[in-house]
Chains A and B, each alone.
Chain A
Amino acid sequence: MTTGAAPLLKVRNLRIALPAAGDRLFAVDGLSFDVHPNEIVCLVGESGSGKSMTAHAILGLLPPQVRIDAGSEIVCDGTDLLQLGEQGLQQWRGNRIGMVFQEPMSALNPLQRIGAQIAEALILHARTLGAEQVRQRVLASLAAVGLPEPERICRAYPFQLSGGQRQRVMIAMALINQPRVLLADEPTTALDVTTQKQILDLIRRLQRERHMGVLFITHDIGVVADIADRVIVMRQGCAVEAGTRDEVMLKPRAEYTRALIDALPGRRPATQDEAGGSREVLLQIRGLSKRFVTGGSLWSPAREVAAACDIDLDVREGETVAIVGESGSGKSTLGRMIMRLVEPDQGEILFAGRDILKLPRRDLANFRRDAQLIFQDPFSSLNPRQKVGEAIARGLIIHGEAPKAARNRARLLLDRVGLGAWAAERFPHEFSGGQRQRVSIARALALQPRLLIADEAVSALDVSIQAQILHLLGDLKREFNLTLLFITHDLRVAGEIADRVVVMSQGRIVETGTPAEVLGAPRHPYTRQLVSAVAGTDFLGQLAQDRAYIEALA
């Protein structure tokens, strides 16, 4: 599988020992791989697989309490980087090896202008350059990563740029010294899909132009499909499979790789049932509007953001509607307005025929029995000082159930969501992210609502856990006869579970239709952009055809 040229980066038997208190001894255990010129190698794995540690180890950026084992080798251009001291490594960092990080929001110094920060990377390795030369090189580097008005960006502070712009700045900084190797540690994870697409294209383009070797770390199989030449699948510090993209993705040999690919949203069989259309309208939204005003004082004009702009939406009883949009599209605000956590400026929300915005206090309490919300972050959606059983029983107790009966019901529900009644007496910190999300679901279901709103309920979870939770939601929906409003940024998830997909952008609904219509033949330009930005779409199509072909043969 190696090409003729010598590898740019050669990692051999890399072992990274964790501090003694951890749950395992090694974060990375005996990993070996090469990165050649002119290729993108993806290290893919779920959280805790050691993929990010590997990237940090190459440039000696690991936290001090973590040690690399003596037998390990990281060779670049004939030099074992592990044998270089801190001083020696400084000559390599940002010079022959560039690195881009996950969080563009915090990766730049908030108190320094962009220009100065990029110039620093240059000056550190080319001390003889004059001020004007430095300026020209910095401007050129900003232009190269596709940033408009480089002069203005140079003078800006990080907080004045968007996430995508900052990530471009990071790339400009990493590449200004023309390194042969680029390490990219989840560079698009914190970005919206359309921005992700642009950054992936940019990295691809720069890699080709400069014949670089790129080590690309990601948790997203879809991203791998889009960008990788070769893939290494990691699990708990070990490589479980390695090969070219097509080998690994189309004919995965390892069980784990297959599971990862199958867990990919859009790969699983669709769960929607046909019953959806015929029933009555449960939720009717008319002309709903909400503007948020931020900042604003005597000297600076207030900034207004339209979170909802004249929204009309019908949701039928028993239907699953996915609301899809990027951050800032207003999709979460819509969910919160239905729950009356946020008060709209205008419009009406009819639930079973009654306008909930005009409900008196008493009836509002009753409405709250009928509609419940599941939140995104499993770590902040449970009260850290409340036992899990109590958290679930509270809703029933508030609505008049006897505490004892309520607690029994809580135990039953915990059992139903797959946790077991034992969980009732535990505190949230004793559970993993996926388990907590099960608790949240149980809490929402305790009141036997008719409408369940899931706000990015699986976004914070690893794909394999994501699949389990989606499966559970599907089952519960049928069992409890729920109407589901599923808010997500992930078109793939939406396509998998929804009867109907609603696409939102800047507070407006831009398109509505069945998953097949919206994903297959999007009409609105924004939807088209969104659909084409989904990582791995081309590949998934190809994969589906391949599978069909193989199955047809069998």
Chain B
Amino acid sequence: MKPALLAFLRRPSGVIGLVILVFVVGAALFASAIYPGNPWDTVATPFTPPGTDGLLMGSDSLGRDVAAGVVHGARISLLIGVTSTFMALVVGVLVGAIAGYSGGRTSSLLMGVTELFQSIPAFILAILLVAILTPSVATITFAIAIVSWPQVARLTRGEFLSLKEREYVQAARCLGESPVSLMVRYILPNALSPVVVAGSLSIATAILIESALSFMGLGDPNMMSWGYMVGTARTMIRQAWWMSFFPGLAILLTVLAINLVGESLNDVLNPRISRQ
């Protein structure tokens, strides 16, 4: 693992991503220390531009501190991004592994379901689910996981399909390994690195979906979120650009950072593809 870490650190884009990510995670962890109190509270005159009255990013139409909202908003983005991706990975890897290894009817059934989910407009399905199940952290996470797992399943299945034909897997079969052991000991470890990379990129996508949902007014009403801030500020863009600019920039940087880290991870974990 150590040379892999070194290889990662040698990539400037990965390091930049990592640094940004450390800031975002720090903001999420220490939000209450950096901006104590409720980010929903009115603390200043509405429409205060950034840099005045000690407000780094100005205030919004109700006099709330935009900077406090941005710092607190990191929490929900990361929370939902990570948990929904984790759920999608568990389901996707399981479905993909079984479909890839078993072949035959089980495989076509599982892949039929996966393909069905992929040919449905994902974002609209997420909107529908959250709207009908009423918005909360749990329903949003569930909805995002529902639309993200098929990709993981397809990827895992592809890896399993090609790996199970490899000669070392055949050799292990000859030694008398059981199917479960073949999957867990021989195939999964070799299939994992592309899945890990896809997972890290999927966190970024999940954050984008979460922000779009809360932009649409489908966020958890109890938690300050970046998408919600942009959504409420968009009609006031002529008067107060900063109200939508800063939260949007926060999303952009967070997603960019995760993508940069994910890609560097890809270069390190899948060297045959990137270094020809």
A interface vs B, CB < 8 Å?
A: 336, 339, 341, 365, 368-369, 371-373, 375-377, 380-386, 391, 394-395, 398-399, 440, 443-444, 447
Contacts and interface: CB of A to CB of B under 8 A. Distances in A.
B176 A399 contact: yes
Interface stretch (B10-18, B128-136, B167-175): B167-175
A454 to B, nearest CB: 12
A399 B174 CA distance: 12
Nearest to B169: A383
Contacts, number: 58
Nearest to A361: B178
Contact of B175 (A377, A380, A394): A394
A376 B166 CA distance: 11
B207 to A, nearest CB: 31
B167 A368 contact: no
B189 to A, nearest CB: 5
5 contacts: A385-B189, A395-B175, A398-B175, A398-B181, A440-B171
B190 A383 contact: yes
Contact of A341 (B173, B177, B181, B185): B173
A377 B171 CA distance: 12
Contacts of A372: 174-175
B245 interface: no
Given A394-B177, A395-B176, A375 B189 contact: no
Contacts of A336: 170
A375 B167 CA distance: 7
A380 B168 contact: yes
B35 interface: no
Contact of A369 (B168, B173, B176, B181): B176
Residue of B167, B173, B181, B185 with most partner-chain A CB within 10 A: B167
Contact of B176 (A368, A373, A383): A368
| Residues of B in contact with A, size category | 10 to 19
Given A385-B190, A395-B176, A447-B175, A373 B168 contact: no
Given A382-B168, A383-B169, A383-B186, 9 more contacts: A336-B170, A365-B176, A368-B174, A372-B175, A380-B167, A381-B171, A386-B185, A391-B168, A398-B177
Contacts of B174: 339, 341, 368, 371-373, 444
A539 to B, nearest CB: 35
B176 A376 contact: no
B195 to A, nearest CB: 14
B271 to A, nearest CB: 10
Minimum-distance CB pairs A-B, first 3: A395-B175, A381-B167, A375-B167
B168 A383 contact: yes
Interface string B141-185: 000000000000000000000000011111111111100010001
A365 B189 CA distance: 24
A384 B167 contact: no
A368 B177 CA distance: 10
Contact of B171 (A373, A398, A399): A373
A50 B119 CA distance: 51
